[in-house]
Structure formats: C-alpha cells, structure tokens
A = this chain, B = another copy of it.
C-alpha cells in the first residue's frame, strides 16, 4: 500500500513520507466488525419493502431534473417522460448489481486508506454546520479558523477515519471560493480520507483538480481518493446540482453517497416502513444512474432519515423510529450487496447535554448493530446539523473508541487464563493481584477519560465540572498539542498556486 501511494505521488519522496510517519497520533485502521448484524424484521418483510420500492420506481418513477441525465436514461432505453424516469425492475437491479460491494478509499497517507463495504465500518465527522458552539460555549457563525480546528481534531481522533470536508461552513470566506479553502483545509490539516464539494459541477471539478495535485492527476482518474454526498430531494427528485456532481465524480471513479434526505412525516409518509420503501426507491434510482455514467464505479447506498415532530414540523434526533429505520435500510443494503451509509451521533440538542447523549447513543447503537459501512455525522453534530460543537466533537470522538472496541467483539483469547484466575482467587477473594489481571488490566475494559467516574468528593475537588466543560477543555488541549502532518513542499505549493489562480477567476459573491 505504501508503495502505491509513493508511486502515484507527483513529487516529494523519502523525506516527505518519513515526516508523515513521524506524526504523533494514534489512528485505527478500518473497523472490521466481528459481531453479527441485527435484523429487526424477517427477510420476507425486507423483500416486501424491496418489492414496493421497485413498484414505486416502475409506476411513479423518479425525477431527474437535468438535461444530460435525461439523455443518459433515454440512451439506456428507460421509459422517460419529460424529467420523469420510470425504471423497469429488472433493468434497475441489473444496474445496481454493477456497483462493487467493497472498495478502498485511498488517503494521502496510505496508512490511513480505508475499506468501505462488507464487514468494514468507517467513522466520519459531521458536515455542513453554519454555526459552531465554540470553546467558550458560545454559539456563533463558523469561520475558516474553526474549520481548520475541526480538521485538526479529526486528524487526532484515533477512531475517526476521515476528515469529512465542510465540518462547519467557513462563513468568512466568499461562497464561490469556499470549496477551495474547505478542500485545502482537509488536505492540509489531516492525512485521512476526505470528502468532495458537490454544490456545482465547477466546484466538483476544482476538487478533483486539487486531489490531482495531491495524488497525481492520472491516479485520480480511476482511483477513489474521496467520497462525495449527493442527496435526493425526497420525495423522488434528483436535482440538477446533485446530478452534476454525480456525473463529475462517477466519471472519475470517485464514490458518491446516494442518500435521500428525508424528514419522515413531511417528505415521506407518516410511517417508518412507508418512509423506508420510498427512500430505498430514491437511493436505488441514484445508484442506478451512477452505473449508467460509469459502470462498476464504487457507490455508497444510504439515507439521512429523521422523524419530524408533527406538531411543530421540527426534525427530531435520536428517536426510536430513526433507529428502527436504520435496521431496515441496513437489511436492504445487504440484500443489494451495496456499501451502506447511515448517520451516528446526529442529535437535535442545542447543547452537549443529556439530550445530546441520549439521542446520540440511541442512534449509534443501531448504526453499529445494523452493520453500517460509512457512519457519518459521528463528531460534532448539534441542533439537527445547524451547529458543530467543540465539546460535542471530542465527546463523540472518545465514544467512537468505545464503539470501535464494541464492534470488535468479545475476546475469548484469554478465557482459559481468566478461568484459571477464578480458581486461583476463589470465593471472597479479589482479582487485582492475579497474573491474568496484570496482563490484561490495560486492555480489558474501555476507560473513557472524558467520562468522570471519580467519587463525588474527588469530582467536586476537581471543580465539579459537567461533561460539556470537560469536553471543551479537552478540545483546547488537543488543539494545543496538534502537529501538522505536513504535505510535501511541492504539493503544498501546488495547492496554494491552484487556489490563488482560481480565486482570481472566481467572483466574490454568487450574483
């Protein structure tokens, strides 16, 4: 693997790579789940939903609101009327089957490359918050400095497998130029996989050019080095912006997440099963389209589904139905042998408080047991995605270490020794001095440092800090200790030059 990344790099060499390896961080490889998936409903019920999704695509069809996309569907012989595409079930499944079950996302540091699909799971921080809840617990507009900070924290978090991209919106950068600085920040501050801009064809192309500078222009024509999100507008609309991004990335063999964004009860029916049938149809239509653009291109089937408070219209976070729907989507993804994305720690809470915690682990437990491959929004998410919190970010990152261990399964390796310890200790003894304990005390049980398990007295003596306060303190410490995994000089210069060039070409405002 290291050989691969070395050969496709445009410049740099031994010194640059050595510097990378000196980076003082722990970084976990792709999580390979060793626990079985949980299936909430029987296979026949999964098949029933599947069948109804296919009925929807045959009868109602799906909108593809882009001239080129419609031409592609027509060229493939689909039943097209205006922008409405009705897709025959056999043809749909034939297209879907072309997408690979598993693939690699190559990172600029090959040690951080990850596998997506099958029993593999990766954890990816949040995306798109216009606000931050900052280190002083104030809520304010996000800035580029904040985004840099979150990329630094993502780099340092052992269980995060990606830098995402626009963790928060750099509101201090003009909109037409933002994607340049977002992509640059992700590539500069972390050597983990990242995500591509999708807000226009041009921005997707700029992202590919920047990826080309880092990975080599030829390399990124065929090798996956990023992931890009495209959302279906539920119900049943793939719009021109999303289709533009899909075309750019699929042609480069870069994986897309084909994920309907569904506010269940508003943009779907008020039925968890009904919502899944619809969202599944939408996601499959997206996957099928990518396989017309480039057969065999890697894709990630998925969804963002929250339920809506039907009294106020507000999207909710960690509700039981959101968790239940994950199990259905996971079962469908397995049926299609598609890598599957869901979301983990996404909450409605404004603060990193009890609400956030209850919501977060309600969802993450389901995401893990449902066998998700790309678990997104697992660091920072507050306020239904409106804000990224520093304290929430580091809280989530620590919890992920626990989830990583959880999904790694139970170890029977030292079972014999543990049983011998029981015989050695006998009734009424204690185990602290046994050889087995001495050998295993550091690894046996996950000990989250942000969780306070001290006595009340000790906790009081240390300032009686709530979890949110401890999280903000940890974020400060981490940022102070951050060391940049430096890009090779030629690459760093190349990126800066490209940004300077594009900044001259691009306007400062959208209109």
CB-based contact B235/A428 at 8 Å = yes
Smallest Cβ-Cβ distance to A469: which chain B residue: B353
The answer for the CA separation of A395 and B349 in the assembled complex, in Å, is: 14
Interface residues of A in 403-455 (CB under 8 A from B): 403, 405-406, 409-412, 414-415, 417-419, 421-423, 425-432, 434, 436-437, 440-442, 444-448, 450-455
Known: A265-B437, A415-B274, A453-B316. A35 touches B45 (CB 8 A): no
CB-based contact A395/B358 at 8 Å = yes
Known: A428-B63, A452-B348. A272 touches B360 (CB 8 A): no
Q: Which 8 A-B pairs have the closest CB atoms?
A: A357-B357, A274-B418, A320-B406, A236-B427, A271-B418, A365-B365, A270-B444, A361-B361
One of A94-102, A193-201, A244-252, A303-311 contacting the partner: A303-311
CB-based contact A418/B355 at 8 Å = no
CB-based contact B317/A451 at 8 Å = yes
The answer for the CA separation of A350 and B453 in the assembled complex, in Å, is: 8
CB-based contact A277/B422 at 8 Å = yes
Binding site for B on A (CB under 8 A): 35-36, 38-41, 45, 48, 52, 55-56, 59-63, 84, 131, 139, 233, 235-237, 264-275, 277-278, 307-312, 314-321, 323-324, 328, 348-362, 365-366, 369, 383-384, 386-387, 391-392, 395, 399, 402-403, 405-406, 409-412, 414-415, 417-419, 421-423, 425-432, 434, 436-437, 440-442, 444-448, 450-456, 459, 464, 466-468, 471
Identify A354's interface contact among B237, B402, B471, CB under 8 A: B471
Interface-centre pick from A268, A317, A356, A418 (highest chain B CB count, 10 A): A418
Complex interface: chain B residues within 8 A of A62 (CB):
427
CB-based contact A440/B35 at 8 Å = no
CB-based contact B307/A273 at 8 Å = no
- Give A6 Cβ to nearest chain B Cβ, in Å: 37
- Give A49 Cβ to nearest chain B Cβ, in Å: 8
Complex interface: chain B residues within 8 A of A233 (CB):
428
Identify A429's interface contact among B235, B459, B471, CB under 8 A: B235
Please name 27 pairs of A and B residues whose Cβ atoms are closer than 8 Å in the assembled complex, sorted by A: A40-B409, A60-B422, A60-B426, A266-B430, A269-B417, A269-B418, A269-B419, A270-B418, A270-B441, A271-B417, A274-B436, A275-B418, A277-B415, A308-B445, A310-B445, A312-B453, A312-B454, A314-B453, A320-B402, A324-B406, A324-B409, A328-B410, A349-B467, A351-B466, A356-B467, A357-B361, A362-B402
